[in-house]
């Protein structure tokens, strides 16, 4: 933390999405430009293969659990996991048209109206415990797969979630592993990413946990944020269609150069903070290369990893030409047995709910010696109708 640093704000600094502006403290995670994402000071590479319950405990309590802590915490989550029939019935009445993130935002509002405690700490643990059931119900409904199997938290956080999904194909250990990995790697990402900031901003007006999370999920739904993983997959699938399954890194390199000449976007590369390959992407690449080396999308993604960096590095205006997590996370899910990209952002939101909810608790009940942060109210400068018409 830098102390006594003054920031001179000029006109050029405005209308830039507040990138880099310090506005508060994050108690759970941070992103180092070189070392990547850390939860409670621990690099994500050290946490990726732990259980979801262990990592959730770390984010919530600020320390890694001892064995007895973990046993108690699992019981705590299980005791809070039941979602009322009334809530589940309401989710199943939501329209199935449109993107499922719309249903996600609506389901959170419904849960808050029917089961909310109007207590940020209570609602934080409650939504973390209940979100697997809510999302399984939502996906089954939206996909037309029927009612979910009954929740059984004793199976484990993600094991229970996968068990509740009525997938048309067989569920495997590979799928459970990939879902755990995806879940853990997306829990939190500092305090200033759009969805987290929006959730905390809404909560600053003393909206309850569920309304704040609903707003955060709406922020996550956009293609420049959470839906980027779906867009990245569609980008690779388009490349597959045009170049074939056996495209080499050299062929992909030529393909990307033509795209750039046409000023088309290359999806899955670059990051607002990182200046190296996203360590979360590295974890996914390693898993995909080890477990699914012959999957056509994995082969393309691995060659794109090479070609993309080479081509984008040639552009001096690009400060981060390296893959981010979206470049490979969805492809890993497909290779592991979940070929439903319309739900990738929903899975992202299911995970990110953990970090956003915990950060809301901090800002509402722990920050500033327990007073909480004030209402978010940034300053905007009036520019007048002449500027608008010009």
The pLDDT of residue 4 is: 56
Instruction: Tell me if 207 sits within 8 A of 376, measured CB to CB.
Output: no
Q: How far apart are the first and last CA of the chain?
A: 41
Q: Are 101 and 175 part of one and the same domain? A: yes
Give the sheet arrangement for strand 29-32, strand by strand: 29-32, 36-39, 42-43
Query: How far apart are alpha carbons 158 and 165 in whole angstroms?
Result: 11
Residue 35 lies in a domain: no
Same domain, 155 and 244: no
- Which residue bears the tokens 């750039």? 260
Residue with tokens 């984010």: 59
> In this structure, are 133 and 280 located in the same domain?
no
Q: Are residues 196 and 266 in the same domain?
A: no
Domain that holds residue 266: 228-336
* Number of structural domains found in the chain: 2
pLDDT single digits (tens) 19-77 = 888 999 999 999 999 999 999 999 999 999 999 999 999 999 999 999 999 999 999 99
Q: Looking at the structure, do residues 220 and 233 belong to the same domain, yes or no?
A: no
Share of the chain above pLDDT 90, in %: 89
Q: Do 73 and 198 lie in a common domain?
A: yes
Residue 161 is assigned to a structural domain of this protein: yes
Indicate if 91 and 213 belong to the same structural domain.
Answer: yes
CA dihedral 57, 58, 61, 64 (to 10 degrees): 100
Residue 316 and residue 233 share a domain: yes
On whether both 106 and 118 belong to a single domain, the answer is yes
pLDDT digits (tens, 9 = 90+) for 167-184: 999 999 999 999 999 999
Same domain, 215 and 251: no
User: Comparing 220-224, 295-299, 326-330, which segment has the lowest mean pLDDT?
Assistant: 220-224
CATH number at residue 232: 1.10.230.10
SS3 string, 244-310, reads CCCCCHHHHHHHHHHHHHCCCCCCCECCCCCCCCCHHHHHHHHHHHHHCCCCHHHHHHHHHHHHHHH
Q: Read off the CATH number of the domain in which 178 is found.
A: 1.10.580.10
Does one domain contain both 179 and 244? Answer: no
The predicted pLDDT at position 389 comes to 55
Residue in 200, 321, 345 with CA at minimum distance from that of residue 256: 321
Catalytic amino acids? 225, 271, 326
């Amino acid at each position: 933390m830098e102390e006594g640093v003054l920031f001179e704000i000029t006109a050029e600094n405005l209308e830039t999405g507040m990138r880099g502006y310090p506005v508060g403290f994050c108690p759970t995670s941070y992103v180092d430009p070189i070392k990547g994402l850390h939860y409670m000071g621990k690099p994500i590479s050290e946490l990726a293969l732990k259980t979801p319950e262990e990592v959730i405990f770390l984010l919530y309590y600020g320390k890694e659990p001892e064995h007895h802590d973990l046993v108690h915490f699992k019981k705590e989550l299980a005791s809070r996991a039941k979602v009322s029939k009334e809530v589940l019935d309401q989710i199943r009445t939501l329209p199935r048209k449109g993107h499922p993130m719309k249903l996600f935002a609506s389901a959170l509002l419904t849960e808050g109206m029917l089961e909310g405690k109007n207590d940020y700490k209570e609602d934080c643990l409650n939504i973390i415990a209940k979100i697997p059931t809510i999302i399984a119900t939502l996906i089954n409904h939206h996909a037309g797969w029927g009612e979910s199997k009954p929740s059984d938290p004793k199976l484990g956080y993600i094991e229970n979630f996968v068990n509740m999904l009525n997938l048309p194909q067989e569920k495997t250990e590979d799928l459970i592993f990939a879902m755990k990995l995806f879940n853990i790697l997306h829990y939190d990402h500092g305090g200033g990413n759009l969805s987290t900031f929006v959730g905390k901003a809404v909560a600053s007006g003393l909206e309850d946990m569920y309304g704040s999370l609903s707003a955060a999920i709406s922020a996550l739904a956009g293609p420049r944020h959470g839906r980027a993983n779906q867009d990245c997959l569609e980008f690779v699938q388009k490349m597959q269609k045009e170049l074939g399954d056996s495209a080499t890194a050299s062929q992909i390199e030529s393909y990307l150069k033509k795209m750039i000449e046409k000023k088309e976007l290359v999806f899955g590369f670059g990051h607002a903070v990182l200046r190296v390959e996203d360590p979360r992407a590295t974890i996914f690449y390693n898993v995909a290369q080890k477990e699914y080396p012959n999957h056509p999308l994995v082969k393309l993604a691995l060659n794109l990893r090479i070609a993309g960096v080479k081509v984008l590095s040639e552009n001096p205006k690009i400060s981060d030409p390296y893959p981010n997590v979206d470049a490979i996370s969805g492809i890993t899910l497909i290779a592991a047995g979940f070929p439903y990209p319309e739900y990738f952002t929903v899975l992202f939101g299911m995970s990110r709910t953990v970090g956003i909810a915990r950060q809301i608790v901090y800002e509402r009940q722990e920050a500033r010696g327990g007073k909480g942060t004030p209402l978010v109210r940034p300053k905007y400068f009036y520019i007048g109708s002449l500027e608008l018409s010009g």
